Amino acid sequence: MNPTPDPTLDLSIIIPAYNEAESLPELIAWITRVLAGHAWTYEIIVVDDGSEDQTGQLLHTLKKQYPPLRAIRFLRNYGKSAALQTGFEAARGAVVITMDADLQDDPEEIPALYRMITEEGYDLVSGWKYKRYDPWSKTLPSKLFNAVTRRLSGIPLHDFNCGLKAYRCEVVKSIEVYGEMHRYIPVIAKWAGFKRIGEKKVKHHPRRYGKTKFGIERFLFGFLDLLSIQFVSRFRKRPMHFFGGLGVLSFTIGALITLWLIGYKLWALAHGLHYREVTAQPLFYLALTSIIIGAQLFLTGFLGEMIVNTAPKRHDYVIAEVIE
């Protein structure tokens, strides 16, 4: 499901939702009120990430009340990245805005974000929850997470994990989000070539219903995903450059050590000096190991090149229902 952007549709709003039956009616009504004062054509796409409450049934009711609403329901919970990726593929607007379903993101920010894309020329604008209404157990790890991500990515954003973001349609159609990589969409977009990345301070509200769906483990998984992005972004299309380069280096070091050991033995024999057998020296086995590792790394790079050129891109998200 990857429709061509509809030039007559100005805006797509994507809302991943997991067990948000209490907040969704208020959020959809709020968004509708905000957009009623503008002449933009729009759609609201709710991706139900396998909710176990009444979210699925509620979406049918909301569709009757709000015609611009579209909904996609997963058969089970796949995570926020899967929900966003599916929403990106379904979006038809020239500008795409994402926001969380828990009423902590403020729909009043939508017009300003839209204008930053259409009038100021940004590819992506990320919200910055300047004043947060979250417990310290979320805010302190988040500060560390953002500092590390800024350092490694070179993107000067204060809040990579803010769910409220705006994109040119070309951005969301050009990237792929999986695992826990929704936190690094600005990084993925930058590596894809979209470098006009901006930031806007946005209002943040206390959670009204339910509880957060994320635990402290998300920061560990997020850090691993950041390393994965750094690797995949640089070497996805050229794995031989990484594995082959390390392999050649390791093989060369091992070969030079071996040649030095053999050369020293021959030199000692020529001068009648005492020498140790090459195979009796521990350094020889280190050199042999280095040669073997180098050959394996080179073959890994070669196999990686073959996989890159033959493997199709696919998702395995099972969609239970599409409400149009």
pLDDT digits (tens, 9 = 90+) for 247-280: 899 999 999 999 999 998 888 888 888 878 888 8
Tell me the pLDDT of the chain averaged across its residues. 85
The pair of structure tokens assigned to 186 is 């600005």
DSSP letter for 72, please. Answer: E
Report whether pLDDT(37) > 70.
yes
Angle of helix 136-153 relative to helix 217-235, nearest 10 degrees, comes to 10
Give the Cβ contact number of residue 182 at 10 Å: 24
Q: Indicate yes or no: pTM above 0.85.
A: no
What gap in Å lies between CA 154 and CA 195, rounded to an integer? 11
Residue-wise pLDDT for 14-23, tens only, equals: 999 999 999 9
What gap in Å lies between CA 1 and CA 36, rounded to an integer? 29
Select from 1, 31, 29 the least CA-distant residue to 14.
Answer: 31
Lowest mean pLDDT segment, chosen from 62-76, 107-121, 144-158, 189-203: 144-158
What gap in Å lies between CA 173 and CA 159, rounded to an integer? 23
The pair of structure tokens assigned to 295 is 């050959």
Looking at domain 11-236, what is its CATH homologous superfamily? Answer: Spore Coat Polysaccharide Biosynthesis Protein SpsA; Chain A (3.90.550.10)
**Domain residue spans of the chain:** 11-236, 239-310
Give the residues across from 200 on adjacent strands: 127
Spatial contact of 241 and 145, defined as CB atoms under 8 Å apart: no
At 44, which helix (H) or strand (E)? strand 42-48
Give the residues across from 72 on adjacent strands: 47, 322
Instruction: Match 């015609």 to its residue by tokens.
Output: 67
pLDDT of residue 186: 92
Lowest mean pLDDT segment, chosen from 172-176, 219-223, 269-273, 286-290: 219-223
Q: Where are the alpha helices (DSSP H) in the chain?
A: 24-36, 55-65, 80-90, 110-118, 136-153, 169-172, 185-191, 217-235, 239, 245-270, 282-310
Residue-wise pLDDT for 119-155, tens only, equals: 999 999 999 988 776 666 666 777 787 888 888 788 8
| Res. 213 pLDDT band, cuts 50 70 90 | low
The pair of structure tokens assigned to 258 is 């071996």
Instruction: Match 């002449």 to its residue by tokens.
Output: 39
Helices (H) and strands (E) in the chain, counts: 11, 8
- CA torsion 36→323→51→84, rounded to 10°? -70
